[in-house]
Structure 1
Amino acid sequence: MAYYRQLGKIPKTRHTLFRADSGAIYYEELMGEEGFSSDSSLLYHRNIPSALVGAREWELPDQSLTANAPLLPRHLKLHGLFTDDQARTVDAVTGRRLVLGNGDVRINYAWVGQTSPLYRNSTGDECVYVEDGSAVVETVFGALPVAKGDYVIIPRATTHRWVVQDGEVAKLYFIEANSHIGPAKQYLSKHGQLLEHAPYCERDLRGPQEPLLAEGQNVDVYIKHRGHGPNGLAGTIHLLPEHPFDVVGWDGCLYPYVFNINDFMPITGKVHQPPPVHQVFEGANFVVCNFVPRKVDYHPDSVPVPYYHSNVDSDEIMFYVDGDYEARKGSGINKGSISIHPGGHAHGPQPGAVEASLGMEYFNELAVMVDTFRPLDLGEAAVKSDDGQYASSWTGGRWNND
């Protein structure tokens, strides 16, 4: 997020000798994007950040993908993948399950009741939506308390862990990029400030408030990185001689932050507005939108639910979080559902939804949408949770495979 912040102790001049009161040297680390050509921060460590004393392979959770063939719209019931009892043994790093993926983005899901190991995703930024529950995301930049409705943006290669209190269960929706994730470019000035027409602003974003220091020796950090495994991914566990949470201060424009979906100001109009007005973040070849409770169209002949549309260039993935979904009445979709509307298939409201929406003035719905510009394949969690019936929901159950 390209606006400057400073936490903790830093020297007056960058790239100069910086000592503790004891005389010990603090070690400066530049964490920067795009080869010194984009946003960066300077972190000051008590220990050498490159130090390693061991390494071993980490077998990632199942990363296999299956083609969406034959091409179909699909309904996934994610809440059937976990139970509360199962969640108490699951953590947000080793327990996330792959739902959908392509070369640009992977969508994972998990119910977690265990604190995760320390983790670093070196393939891209992560945008994690907290569907329910609460946790603390501890990072080298500081801690971020998160709860229901929060998006957490975690820059690539940020060492962090998800801390869950005993007895709590957090339901997490992971959007893992192979790129960086940030606000939509149409909301930003040429210098990176969120503009007046943007549906949120910098004061809505929460960053770490103070450095997070921890002690410990021989500490494991789980790393997801590029390799020769499924999806071009591999895993390694680095053994560090000292705990990586040793940053006494940092400054810059690159750091993790939180945005709550309830602070999004929906853009509405006289007639139905297209999905880009709901955009909140973007990465390379995908966008993230959210649909929040809002007043709807006020033209006297308006049709509040969406018109039928063809995703000529993208797959549309809608995660239904809360409320009532007027356009999907009769489809079986409910809280915890994902609808997959692939490119090549015209989709829109289920039968009767247009008529039922006429005269409505307000929609009470909450959903997170990811649109991708390359086709998505099905992860093991999608195969497991597919209801197998959604494609026939526009025709009253009639289906012919011949």
Structure 2
Amino acid sequence: MASLKYMSGFGNEFSSEDPGCPGSLPKGQNNPQVAPYGLYAEQLSGSAFTCPRYSNKRSWLYRILPSVIHKPFAPIPQGNLSYSWDEIGPDPNQLRWLPFKISKTSEKKVDFVTGLHTLCGAGDIRSRCGLAIHIYACNTSMENKSFYNSDGDLLLVPQKGNLLINTEFGKMLVEPNEICVIQQGMQFTLQVFEESRGYVLEVFAGHFELPDLGPIGANGLANPRDFKVPVACYEDRQVPSGFTVISKFQGKLFAAQQNFSPFNVVAWHGNYTPYKYNLQDFMVINTVSFDHADPSIFTVLTVKSTRPGVAVADFVIFPPRWGVADHTFRPPYYHRNCMSEFMGLIKGHYEAKEEGFLPGGGSLHSIMTPHGPDAECFEKASKAKLEPERVADGTMAFMFESSFNMIVTKWGLEACNCLDKSYSNCWQPLKRHFNPKWKPNDK
């Protein structure tokens, strides 16, 4: 259904041509006077031309017609897509949402674009600084319609329903427990096969990359070889009734009409591509002695900021693994953080909150807001026999972590009708265990 190939490493050069048009990728130069098969050469740049070579991102696309052939863009309704961070006041409380709702097809047909709902975010799109977190909930495919984001990169985390994503570079089938990154400016359309829901992390500055490994060494976490890019697969399709190209530009939606499919790329090469990754390929690093390693050891992708060690956004997962720490309270510790932490659940039961935190829902613990395991988890883990145990089997939780102080939209606090107003109750049963007569030899 979707042909893919492995990346040999982040930042490397890749190339692909449709098997039906051998030799469609020019040899020796990027922009020949006449391209093979009468194609048009078009470059897609994801960085400034004069960036250092290691950070320069661009791809050449060889297409039947260039993407410039369209009618003028005109504004279209925004739905629940919003970047107005001041529409409602800040809220420092711990926030949790029950599974976000998906409209039934019989009620209303909703595709990926119309099903985007902004939950929270921070920063400014015009100055290319910040991020946003969205929820998508859709029940129908995008028909004769494409979408591209002029404002930044999109990381898609499906939770329910497979996604067939057709891009200018080719097709990718993305299933729950996989992720997909569509980088700035790349056109795509999204086909669903059932009611579908998931999470979207949008960053306005920089691109996702693998985190540095430091003392871990050469191997571990997400391996570059496990990422996949599409294989060229062109559509030579006229659409007399009109094909709609939707652009998100400075946080607003605009639509333009053309009479052909934009997925007409016969060949391409470069290092600026969409890609996917299966979360089960993540190589977990953890303690084999005592104490609790920081969640940064579970980072899959990061978007670095100009401050060393501080990220615009980290994508972190909590996959199945072994827990073997001695003399240790093994679940996540109680914590106040200088980062914002949004968590979502793809499947299963998260170890620190087995009740209330459900697949398709989420939670937000803002900067310096205390959080940690609920009372039941604390009592259970404090008395547990410490022996090797499997943690999170059948579960995949994740976190979007950011140095930005995010604010929740009006939709997230009110209109979605999913906010769990009883969330704080999960900590109220925590008991006093303080014993002033305790001795070092006491257990």
**Greater CA drift, 265-274 or 135-144:** 265-274
1:286 paired residue number: 313
Task: State the distance in 1 between where 2:59 and 2:104 align.
Answer: 39
1:328 maps to what in 2? 353
Aligned residues of 2:35 and 2:41 also touching (Cα < 8 A): no
What 5-or-longer segments of structure 2 have no aligned partner? 1-9, 18-23, 124-129, 306-311, 431-443
- Residue ranges of structure 1 left out of the alignment (5+ in a row): 189-193, 227-232, 398-402
**Are positions 1:60 and 2:78 aligned together?**
yes
Cα shift at 1:239: 1.8
* Structure 2 SS opposite 1:325: coil
Displacement after TM superposition at 1:88 (Å): 6.9
Tell me the secondary structure at the aligned position of residue 73 of structure 2. Answer: strand
Aligned to 2:110: 90
Q: Who is 2:15 aligned against?
A: 6
> If the length of structure 1 is used for normalisation, what is the TM-score?
0.87
Q: CA deviation at 1:222?
A: 0.5
Letter matched to residue 45 of structure 2: G
Do residues 74 (structure 1) and 104 (structure 2) align?
no
TM-score (norm: length of structure 2): 0.79
Residue 369 of structure 1 aligns to a residue in which SS? strand
Q: Structure 2: how far apart are the matches of 1:108 and 1:381?
A: 11
The change in CA–CA distance for 1:303 and 1:108 in structure 2 (over 3 A counts) is same
Shift of 1:182: 1.8
Aligned 8 A contact 1:155 1:180 in 2: no
Note if 1:16 corresponds to 2:32.
Answer: yes
Return 154-163 or 36-45, whichever deviates more.
36-45
1:87 CA displacement: 8.4
- Higher-Rg structure is 2
User: Letter of the aligned partner of 1:129 in structure 2?
Assistant: V
CA contact (8 A) 1:54 1:240 kept: no
Find the residue that maps to 2:378 and give its secondary structure.
helix
Contact kept? 1:87, 1:112, Cα under 8 Å: no
Once the two structures are superposed, what CA deviation does each residue of 1:353-385 show, in whole Å capped at 9, x if it has no partner? 233123262211311101111111112442132
Choose the corresponding residue for 2:409, options 358, 379, 387.
379
Match of 1:191 in 2: none
Contact in 2 for aligned 1:88/1:112 (Cα 8 Å): no
Counterpart mapping for 1:222-233 below 5 A: 222-226=246-250, 233=251
Q: Identify if the C-alpha distance between structure 1 residues 299 and 135 changes in structure 2 by more than 3 Å, giving closer, same or farther.
A: closer
- SS in structure 2 at match of 1:34: coil
Letter in 2 for 1:125: D
Aligned to 1:132: 160
User: Are 1:319 and 2:339 an aligned pair?
Assistant: no
Shift of 1:344: 2.0
1:154 is aligned to: 182
Kept after mapping to 2: 8 A contact 1:56/1:238:
yes
Contact 1:322–1:367 (CA under 8 A) maintained in structure 2: yes
Distance 1:94 1:352 in 2: 40
CA distance in 2, matches of 1:108, 1:241: 31
Residue identity in the other structure for 1:98: T
Could you tell me how far apart the structure 2 residues matched to 1:299 and 1:258 are? 33
Contact 1:57 1:235 in 2 (8 A): yes
Report Cα offsets for 1:313-348 as digits up to 9, x if no partner: 211111122222221245x22222312111122221
- Residue among 366, 381, 399 paired with 1:369: 399
- Render the CA deviation track for 1:271-330: whole Å, top value 9, x for unaligned: 32111001111225111101111111x23212210111211x211111122222221245
Alignment deviations for residues 96-144 of structure 1 (CA, whole Å, 9 cap, x no partner): 1111121222111123221123101110010001112112100111111
Do the aligned residues in 1 keep the contact of 2:168 with 2:187 (CA within 8 Å)?
yes
Query: Does the C-alpha gap of structure 1 residues 362 and 84 become closer, same or farther in structure 2, counting only changes over 3 Å?
Result: farther
- The residue number in structure 1 matching 2:7 is none
Task: Tell me which of 149, 158, 165 is aligned to 1:121.
Answer: 149
Inter-CA distance 70–250: structure 2 relative to 1 (3 Å threshold):
closer
Counterparts of 1:336 and 1:72 in 2: how far apart (Å)?
21
Equivalent position to 1:210, from 222, 228, 232 = 232
Structure 1 SS opposite 2:375: coil
1:185 to 2:203 alignment: no
In 2: Cα distance, 1:78 partner to 1:354 partner: 24
CA distance in 1, matches of 2:322, 2:106: 39
Give the stretch that moved more between structures: 260-269 or 240-249: 240-249
Q: How many aligned positions are there?
A: 378
User: Alpha carbons of 1:19 and 1:183: their partners in 2 closer, same or farther (altered >3 Å)?
Assistant: closer
**Do the aligned residues in 2 keep the contact of 1:132 with 1:149 (CA within 8 Å)?**
no
Deviation, structure 1 residue 169: 2.3
Name 1:400's counterpart in structure 2. none
SS at match of 2:427: coil
Cα distance in 2, alignment partners of residues 241 and 78 from structure 1: 39
> Secondary structure of 1:327's match?
coil
Q: Name the SS of the counterpart of 2:173 in structure 1.
A: strand
Cα pair distance change 1:86/1:386, threshold 3 Å: farther
Native 8 Å contact 2:211 2:300 kept in 1 = no
Q: CA RMSD in A?
A: 2.4
Contact 1:102 1:376 in 2 (8 A): yes
AA aligned to 2:47 is E
In structure 2, what is the equivalent of residue 32 of structure 1?
45
